[in-house]
Every structure is written in structure tokens, then in C-alpha cells.
């Protein structure tokens, strides 16, 4: 059994789609908020890949999100937004709401394990999100610490190195099988969390089990139950 649980954040612990849809719908009711949220998120992997591939130097996720936002605004008739409005909207990623089970599940898991974020989000973003949402981390770790984005092995191995433990002492908890596969390749344990509504009720996600994961849970409370917390 691992002693340290590290958590993917976007989609696993917080509801990025629902949070963005609510804010965009409130600020700009003329916009298709569902399509806006999906378009913004669609730019996430390509932006990080430019950093991973060396096309650009290390760039925090806040800046990558802002670049994607500036690109998609004209598509939704929002090219008129000034810098202050764009900056406020970009910080929606700092304000993402936890899934209903997240705080209770993390609180239970914290009784037995060291719990820590391991996200591509930058430290300021993750800290603001935790403060606002009541996420009870023992430690906030970010790709920013390692200057590499998941699935770069430096992130997974770096988490073990931070705590001076072998990779097998660490388990990644995530709602994304590619993230979990990369962690397993580095020797970490893996637990999959079902988040069928990660992309919204109109885009239900397949959450079928993958046998390679040691644990498969409906949510974080269910994971706590399975791990004896």
C-alpha cells in the first residue's frame, strides 16, 4: 500500500467544465457556454505540447490558458473584451469548484495518507483553487516545480523524489487513463476515478475499468472506503 497519494486536479478533483460554463453563462449569456468551455480545454494539450517539444520555453499554465483564450474569443464574438476582462475570465481556472465528493473524500484519505496535488496547473492557480474550494492538501505540487508537463516522467518521478521515497510508495489518483498509464510506467501505483460528466451532461465519458489500475472508484469517497479510510 502506498503512503502518498498524488492527485490529478482538472476533471478528477474539480469540475472544470461545469465551473467554466456557469461563469461564462453569467458573464456572457449570448455565448454557447458549453462550446466555449470545450474549445478552451481543447487547446490545453496542443499548448503544452509546444512546451514539451521545445518549440517554446517553459511557460506556466496560466499563460498557456491566456493564449488559448485570446485565440478562441473571436470565434464566440468576444474579441472586444479588454485586457482586464480577459484577465478576469482567464482566472476562472483558479475558481474551479470541487466535485461534490471531493472535500469529504480527500479529508478521509488524509487521515491515513499524505495527500498532494500533482497537476499541470501552476502553483498559484492550485493554491487559489484549494483555498476557495476547501481542498485539504498536505502539499501542493505542480508541473511548475519540475518545469515539465505530464506525462513527462520528471513529474511523476519528481513527486517521489520530493518525499524521498521510491516510486512504488506513491499512487496517482486520476480520471484520465493516459495520465495513469504514464505514472505506471514510472513505477507509481494508480487509482482511476470515474468522472462521466467531466465534459458535461451532453458529452458523457466512457468510464470503463482498465485492469492495469490497482483501484477503480466511483468518486473520492468510494476510493477512501476501498482504502480503509
pLDDT tens column, 101-151? 999 999 999 999 999 999 999 999 999 999 999 999 999 999 999 999 999
Whole-number Cα distances in Å, 205 to 11, 176, 193, 201, 208: 11, 10, 12, 9, 9
- The grid coordinates listed for 143 are 508541473
For 57-70, how does the pLDDT look when each residue is reduced to its tens digit (9 = 90+)? 999 999 999 999 99
CATH number for 4-15+97-226 (one of 3.40.50.1000, 3.40.50.2300, 3.40.640.10, 3.90.950.20): it is 3.40.50.1000
16-94 has which fold?
DNA polymerase; domain 1 (1.10.150)
Distance between CA atoms of residues 85 and 220, nearest Å:
35
Q: What is the pLDDT of residues 46-94, one digit of tens each?
A: 998 999 888 989 999 999 999 999 999 999 999 999 999 999 999 999 9
Each domain of the chain, given as residue ranges in start order, spans 4-15+97-226, 16-94
Number of Cα atoms under 13 Å in the Cβ half of residue 216:
8
Phi, psi of 39 (to 5 degrees): -65, -40
Would you say residue 44 has pLDDT above 90? no
For residue 92, which of 47, 46, 137, 61 has the smallest C-alpha distance?
A: 61
Amino acid at each position: 500500500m502506498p503512503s502518498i497519494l498524488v492527485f490529478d486536479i482538472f476533471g478528477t478533483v474539480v469540475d472544470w467544465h461545469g465551473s467554466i460554463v456557469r461563469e461564462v453563462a453569467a458573464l456572457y449569456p449570448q455565448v454557447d457556454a458549453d462550446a466555449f468551455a470545450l474549445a478552451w480545454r481543447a487547446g490545453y494539450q496542443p499548448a503544452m505540447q509546444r512546451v514539451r517539444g521545445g518549440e517554446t520555453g517553459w511557460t506556466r499554465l496560466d499563460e498557456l490558458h491566456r493564449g488559448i483564450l485570446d485565440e478562441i474569443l473571436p470565434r464566440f464574438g468576444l474579441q472586444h473584451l479588454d485586457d482586464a476582462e480577459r484577465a478576469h475570465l482567464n482566472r476562472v481556472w483558479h475558481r474551479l469548484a470541487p466535485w461534490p465528493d471531493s472535500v469529504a473524500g480527500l479529508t478521509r484519505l488524509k487521515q491515513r495518507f499524505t495527500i498532494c496535488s500533482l497537476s499541470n496547473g501552476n502553483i498559484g492557480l492550485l493554491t487559489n483553487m484549494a483555498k476557495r474550494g476547501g481542498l485539504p492538501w498536505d502539499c501542493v505540487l505542480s508541473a511548475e516545480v519540475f518545469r515539465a508537463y505530464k506525462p513527462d516522467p520528471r513529474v511523476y518521478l519528481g513527486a517521489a523524489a520530493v518525499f524521498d521515497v521510491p516510486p512504488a510508495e506513491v499512487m496517482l489518483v486520476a480520471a484520465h487513463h493516459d495520465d495513469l498509464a504514464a505514472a505506471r510506467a514510472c513505477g507509481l501505483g494508480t487509482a482511476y476515478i470515474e468522472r462521466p460528466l467531466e465534459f458535461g451532461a451532453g458529452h458523457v465519458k466512457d468510464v470503463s475499468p482498465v485492469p492495469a489500475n490497482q483501484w477503480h472508484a466511483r468518486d473520492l469517497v468510494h476510493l477512501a472506503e476501498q482504502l480503509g479510510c
